[in-house]
């Protein structure tokens, strides 16, 4: 999956196939989960669909929609580390602070898989470090508000390893892209922002 392959036409076609109703005015935020769910990689895409006065714009950034290896090995919750379930999450985000800086914060419950440390270890038994995978099949699902925010990684340089930057958040790894994203959202009069999490296969047909 390459950034340039994610076109406005493909995005809208995916929404139509999945019966996701886009706003007729304003911003819709979204993520696209790579079919390669190797842990620790910023190999997903995050973006916004912006429509104003009939004019449409699609902006695609790099990042991750999944937690890093650190938190899969050391869950912050007894039920396991959160991995967002794909789908359309209406009004799930609003403007707020993540660790003191401007972000979009989760303000409505979203479905999450929970992966325990033992499950993660069993799923990757015999697999070399660096090749570990996130596997969600058969995992429990919880509908929760857990602070799974849309935020950035390092504020100064583009991050290459998810590390401790995500325990289930939607994280942009390029600070310049993040700054443009959050500036666009904060200029909007919207109070709430929809979020769509796609699988790569749902967009790249």
pLDDT tens-digit series, residues 8-48: 999 999 999 999 999 999 999 999 999 999 999 999 999 99
User: Model confidence at 1, in pLDDT bands (50, 70, 90)?
Assistant: confident
Rounded CA separation 27/67 (Å): 25
Is 182 exposed, middle or buried (CB count within 10 Å of its CB: 0-12, 13-18, 19+)? buried
Given a cut of 90, whether residue 205 has pLDDT beyond it is no
Task: Give CA–CA dist 195/87, Å, rounded.
Answer: 8
- Phi, psi of 41, deg, nearest 5: -100, 140
Our count of domains for the chain comes to 1
Which residues are registered as beta bridge partners of 60? 47
pTM over 0.95: yes
11-30 as b/e, with b when 16 or more CB fall inside 10 Å? beebbeeeebebeeebbbbb
Residue 97 — very low, low, confident or very high, per pLDDT cuts 50/70/90?
Answer: very high
Average pLDDT over residues 48-54: 95
Contacts of 6 (CB under 8 A, 6+ apart): 32, 45, 47, 58, 60, 203, 204
* Rounded-to-integer distance, Cα 31 and Cα 197, Å: 5
Owning domain of residue 170: 3-203
């Amino acid at each position: 999956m390459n950034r340039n392959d994610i076109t406005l036409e493909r995005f809208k076609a995916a929404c139509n196939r999945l019966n996701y109703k886009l706003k007729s005015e304003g911003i819709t935020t979204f993520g696209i989960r790579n079919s390669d769910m190797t842990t620790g990689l910023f190999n997903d895409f995050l973006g916004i669909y912006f429509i104003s006065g009939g004019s449409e714009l699609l902006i695609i950034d790099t990042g991750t929609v999944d937690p890093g290896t650190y938190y899969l090995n050391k869950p912050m919750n007894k039920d396991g580390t959160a991995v967002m379930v794909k789908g359309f999450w209406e009004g799930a985000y609003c403007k707020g602070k993540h660790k003191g800086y401007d972000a979009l914060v989760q303000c409505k419950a979203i479905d999450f898989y929970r992966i325990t440390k033992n499950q993660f270890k069993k799923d990757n038994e015999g697999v070399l470090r660096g090749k570990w995978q996130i596997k969600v099949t058969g995992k429990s699902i919880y509908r929760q508000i857990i602070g799974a925010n849309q935020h950035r990684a390092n504020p100064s340089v583009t991050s290459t390893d998810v590390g401790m930057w995500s325990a289930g958040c939607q994280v942009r790894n390029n600070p310049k892209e993040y700054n443009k994203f959050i500036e666009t959202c904060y200029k909007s009069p919207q109070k709430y922002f929809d979020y769509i999490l796609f699988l790569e296969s749902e967009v790249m047909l």
